């Protein structure tokens, strides 16, 4: 009965681990978890015989065909997600097997389906939790398959009647009539198989590190339905199409700053620039490429491209950016990017707009970028009096046909102000004091979005503020452009990186100064970054800390598992070689020091000292012998003081072997074909003086080894005394002359 329970438990743990792997993906949530738990609970009751579903096999076959057609329609016409449709069909097929009476071949089908669920899950998620579910599956699969094989062997050899077909109750009764099975599935079995499984994972990890990396998948094309694209990043951006961006808290990228030490603070908030836009038609911004050039990449794994005015890394901010997917065509960087290095398939830079188009390697959407984040002092900007380049004026003073009141508002704000820096500050201050920040923006008129924001609703998000400031500055003759990207994000103190999410999507303004280039201005009120719009992961409580630590683990998982490449293998091999060479040098140095020390010691010893040491060796050996005898006596007298006391079976076996050794030394060995009882009779016939002691030890040997007798302390002492007596009498034994 216990064997059948463990068989069912291991089988359902295997099925449950396959379901658990599905819950790691974003396509299955709480409702799916409830369904999976219900399937397992109902199947368990059916196997116990408590419940019975009176459904014919014909019904299950028809239901399977219908569900297959529905899954195909879902894949081809509705959600168009092939992996999810296949998983749904496999789960339904597994459910039909769980709800029906099961034979051995049914369990094999269930196990195979669980394995395929885990296999499909591996291409549906990059989560670090998949590693845990994979380990759980391997452990439960080891248990289930071993016990299943034992069940087949038992039914084939010990329960031949089961071949003709019996009910679950009869089978359980047959197993209960085999009491020897109760000692098979013990704690040692489960712990031992768990250890073997974990050892195989260690070997697999070593193989993963050693095997070469391939750049193309063999069975699945990268990306497609599971790649996450950033909404709002396109060459044409609608002004009123950003309202829901901050509601999506999925991570977009992680940004590490190697030059920023722990405890050091940045002088101002960073902005991860994506695209700058030059043309506005009253509804949409778009970026028109003007001086776009292709930057040739010369090396396969580490391409360095400089496209800014400075290529001195020491004066630039280094950022190591890890994107969540390769579904972007934008190089994100802090403020003005000067250069980048990464595994790009293509790189294009526009000098006039500062935009960088990228074709990412789908297997490594990570890169390092160097940016100039220096900001001129206010006095310097205010005193900039150089003329604007004609190209900048032609490109960044464009405005659509604007209502008179927008033009009037611009001139009203800029009254008596001719300095571009003061104009930018005045417009920024006006927007901050007269408008409210909100993600819930509603249009109540047929006006253009900008006019509706400035004169009617007076409520909007960052895109409205940035558009208003850029257009008002252009009306006043100051070149300005809207920039779309992400705000700084949240600092993760465990992994020491910024986590940037979809909800951090942001728009701001860059104003051109002839002597200093583009300078960042953010007209969006501080309320956009305050507690009102603070998401859970930005809070400072226990659960938020746990979330950030799990995020740190996910970052490590992506870096050292998902993105582990041939370059990483080569770097690991180089470091291992250097470490081994350093270890060899250290060991050689230690051995030389030891050799020199020994040489000095022996060279300083006089002849008298050497003879003294040689004479002390027998004394030391005799002392070790006395200590050994004393410790053995203490173990016999006080077994509780022994560190690892032997079991009764091992102790009596040891005593019996010692007795045989005594007789073998004087020519009375026990041959392998002679039983202990026959050997005792031989001693009784040839050496009756030893018969009583030998017979006592032999009887005790039989009782402990074959009769489950518990050896007592008095019996141990008695055996020790009899062996001592036999050893004392051994000189009286005649030599075997044969």
pLDDT tens per residue across span 352-377? 888 888 888 776 688 999 998 888 89
Task: Please state the pTM of the whole predicted model.
Answer: 0.50
User: Looking at beta carbons, which pairs linking 175-183 to residues 24 or more positions away fall under 8 Å?
Assistant: 175/1, 175/3, 175/4, 176/1, 178/3, 178/154, 181/2, 181/3, 181/154, 182/2, 182/3
| Percentage of the residues of the chain whose pLDDT score is greater than 90 | 15
pLDDT of residue 589: 84
Given a contact cutoff of 8 angstroms between Cβ atoms, the answer to whether 496 and 485 are in contact is no
322 vs 369: CA distance, rounded Å: 11
User: Do 347 and 296 meet the contact criterion of CB atoms below 8 Å apart?
Assistant: no
Residue with tokens 């993906």: 25
Query: How far is residue 391's CA from residue 583's CA, in Å, rounded to a whole number?
Result: 63
CA 83 to chain centre: 22
Residue 641 has a pLDDT of 45
User: Which residues does the chain have with pLDDT short of 50?
Assistant: 162-164, 214-232, 242-246, 298-301, 533, 536-537, 640-645, 735-738
Task: Tell me the DSSP string of 174-201.
Answer: HHHT-GGGGGTS-HHHHHHHHHHHHHHH
How many whole angstroms separate alpha carbon 511 and alpha carbon 479? 6
- Please name the residue that has the structure tokens 């031992």: 192
Distance from chain centroid for Cα 370: 29
- Concatenating the DSSP letter of every residue in 102-123 gives --HHHHHHHHHHHHHHHHHHTT
Helix (H) or strand (E) holding 287: none
> Nearest Cα to 128, choosing from 569, 555, 563?
555
How far apart CA 96 and CA 117 sit, in angstroms, is 16
3-class SS letters over 301-358: CCEEEECCCCCCHHHCEEEEEEECCCCCCECCEECEEEEEEECEEEEEEECCCCCEEE
- Beta 459-460 vs 436-437: how paired, if at all? parallel
Give the span between the Cα atoms of 539 and 548, in whole angstroms: 10
Q: What is the pLDDT of residue 260?
A: 78
pLDDT reported for residue 153: 82
CA-nearest of 369, 269, 272 to 319 is: 369
In percent, the amount of the chain with pLDDT more than 70 equals 75
Instruction: State the Cα torsion 591-595-596-598 to the nearest 10°.
Output: 130
């Amino acid at each position: 009965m216990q064997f059948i329970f463990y068989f069912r438990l291991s089988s359902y743990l295997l099925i449950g681990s396959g379901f658990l792997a599905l819950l790691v993906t974003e396509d299955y949530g709480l409702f799916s978890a409830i369904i999976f738990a219900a399937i397992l609970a109902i199947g368990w009751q059916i196997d116990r015989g408590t419940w019975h579903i009176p459904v014919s096999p014909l019904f299950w076959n028809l239901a399977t065909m219908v569900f297959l057609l529905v899954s195909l329609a879902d894949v081809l016409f509705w959600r168009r997600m092939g992996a999810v449709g296949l998983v749904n069909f496999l789960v339904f097929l597994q459910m039909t097997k769980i709800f029906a009476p099961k034979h051995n071949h049914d369990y094999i089908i269930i196990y195979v389906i669980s394995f395929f669920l885990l296999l499909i899950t591996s291409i549906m998620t990059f989560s670090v939790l998949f590693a845990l579910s994979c380990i759980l599956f391997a452990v439960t699969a080891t248990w289930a398959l071993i016990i299943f094989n034992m069940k087949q062997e038992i039914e084939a050899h010990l329960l031949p009647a089961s071949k003709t077909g019996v009910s679950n109750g009869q089978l359980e009764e047959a197993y209960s009539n085999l009491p020897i099975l109760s000692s098979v599935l013990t704690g040692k079995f489960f712990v031992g198989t768990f250890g073997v499984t974990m050892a195989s994972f260690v070997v697999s990890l070593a193989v993963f590190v050693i095997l070469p990396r391939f750049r193309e998948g063999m069975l699945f094309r990268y990306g497609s339905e599971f790649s996450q694209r950033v909404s709002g990043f396109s060459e044409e951006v609608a002004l009123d199409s950003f309202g829901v961006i901050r509601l999506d808290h999925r991570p977009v990228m992680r940004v590490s700053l190697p030059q920023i030490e722990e405890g050091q603070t940045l002088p101002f908030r960073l902005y991860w620039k994506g695209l700058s836009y030059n043309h506005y038609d009253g509804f949409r911004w778009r970026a028109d490429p003007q001086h776009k050039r292709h930057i040739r990449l010369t090396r396969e794994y580490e391409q360095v491209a400089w496209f800014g005015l400075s290529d001195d890394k020491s004066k630039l901010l280094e950022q190591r950016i890890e994107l969540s997917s390769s579904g972007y065509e934008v190089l994100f960087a802090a403020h003005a990017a000067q250069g980048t290095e990464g595994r790009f398939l293509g790189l294009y830079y526009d000098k006039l707009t500062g935009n960088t188009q990228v074709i990412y390697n789908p297997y490594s959407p990570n890169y390092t970028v160097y940016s100039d984040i220096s900001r001129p002092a206010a006095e310097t900007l205010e005193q900039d009096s150089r003329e604007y380049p004609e190209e900048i004026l032609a490109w960044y003073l464009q405005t659509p046909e604007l209502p008179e009141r927008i033009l009037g508002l611009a001139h009203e704000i800029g009254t008596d102000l001719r300095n571009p820096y003061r104009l930018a500050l005045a417009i920024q201050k006006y927007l901050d004091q007269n408008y409210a920040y909100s993600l819930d923006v509603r249009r109540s008129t047929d006006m253009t979005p900008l006019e509706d924001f400035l004169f009617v609703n007076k409520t909007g998000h960052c895109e409205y503020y940035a558009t208003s400031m850029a257009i008002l500055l252009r009306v006043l003759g100051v070149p300005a452009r809207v920039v779309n990207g992400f705000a700084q994000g949240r600092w993760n103190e465990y992994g020491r990186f910024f986590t940037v999410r979809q909800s951090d999507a942001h728009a701001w303004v860059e104003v051109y100064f002839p002597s200093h280039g583009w300078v960042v201005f953010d007209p969006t009120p501080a309320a956009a970054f305050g507690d009102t719009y603070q998401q859970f992961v930005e809070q400072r409580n226990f659960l938020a800390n746990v979330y950030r630590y799990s995020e740190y683990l996910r970052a490590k998982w992506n870096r050292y598992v998902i993105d582990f490449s041939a370059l990483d293998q080569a770097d690991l091999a180089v470091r291992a070689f250097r470490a081994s060479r350093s270890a060899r040098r250290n060991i050689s140095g230690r051995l030389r020091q030891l050799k020199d020390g020994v040489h000095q010691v022996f060279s300083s010893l006089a002849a008298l000292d050497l003879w003294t040491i040689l004479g002390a060796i027998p004394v030391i050996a005799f002392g070790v012998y006395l200590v050994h005898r004393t410790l053995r006596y203490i173990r016999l007298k006080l077994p509780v003081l022994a560190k690892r006391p032997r079991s009764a079976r091992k102790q009596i076996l040891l005593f019996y072997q010692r007795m045989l050794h005594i007789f073998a030394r004087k020519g009375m060995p026990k041959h392998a074909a002679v039983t202990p009882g026959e050997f005792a009779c031989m001693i009784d016939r040839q050496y009756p003086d030893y018969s009583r002691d030998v017979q006592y030890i032999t009887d005790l040997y039989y009782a402990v080894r074959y009769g489950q007798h518990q050896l007592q302390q008095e019996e141990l002492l008695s055996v020790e005394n009899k062996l001592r007596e036999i050893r004392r009498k051994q000189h009286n034994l005649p030599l075997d002359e044969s």
